[in-house]
Amino acid sequence: MPVNVSSVGTPATEDPRLDGRPVKRIAFGSDEIAARVRQLGREIGEAYPEGDLLVLGLLKGSFIFLSDLVREIRRPLQVDFLVAASYGDAMVSSGSVRLVYDPETTLEGKHILLVEDIVDSGRTLSRLMDLLSERSPRSLEVCALLHKHIAEYLRYPTKFVGFDAPNEFLVGYGLDHAENFRHLPYIASLQ
């Protein structure tokens, strides 16, 4: 019998996408994620009644979240990406942030919404926000799918948060461990 991998709390050991890697539990199921992303899209649409909106996805972790999210924002917008390198293959933050790809679109005078997969220590985000705020955007806010609320380094508030995350290592729906498991349609906690 195949396990129902969309239900929260179910061990997903039989999911072939996991390649035998044990997961502790499913933290957020795909239906729950979809419902929350719809709400977030509505919230974001209402928060920006006018002006140019540029949604900046931080790659690679935000790629699935961003693509679902922008389809739920019912107002004009543009999409671009940032690539920052921070973690490598480790499960703990190294603290160094490097911009590998910088958006070509100008940020000046626009509402910038930076989309992140997860806020952990907050180092990545703080460094990026410093960089982006120097480019005279009309506003600069963060939308994170997950927030661990342990961010000692975060000097900026996260305006839009999908879910409060447990302090565990999470994979799926864009989040990786050593580049694996990004394609899980749910978010699981690794053993």
Q: Which entry of Mg ion, ligand IMP, none binds 123, CB below 5 to 8 A by partner kind?
A: ligand IMP
Q: Residues 86 to 145: which contact ligand IMP by CB under 6 A?
A: 86-87, 93, 116-125
Provide the minimum distance between the beta carbon of 158 and ligand IMP in the complex, in angstroms, as a whole number. 10
Total binding residues toward ligand IMP, as defined by CB under 6 A = 18
Q: Residues 74 to 93: which contact Mg ion by CB under 5 A?
A: 87
Tokens 């061990």 found at? 11
Known catalytic membership, residue 120 = yes
Distances (CA, A) of 57 to 20, 26, 65, 79, 102: 31, 25, 9, 8, 11
Distances (CA, A) of 151 to 55, 60, 98: 23, 20, 19
Sheet holding 23-28, edge to edge: 23-28, 187-190, 170-171
Residues recognised as catalytic: 120
| Sites of contact with Mg ion (CB under 5 A) | 87, 176
Q: Applying CB under 6 A, which residues contact ligand IMP? A: 61, 86-87, 93, 116-125, 169-171, 175
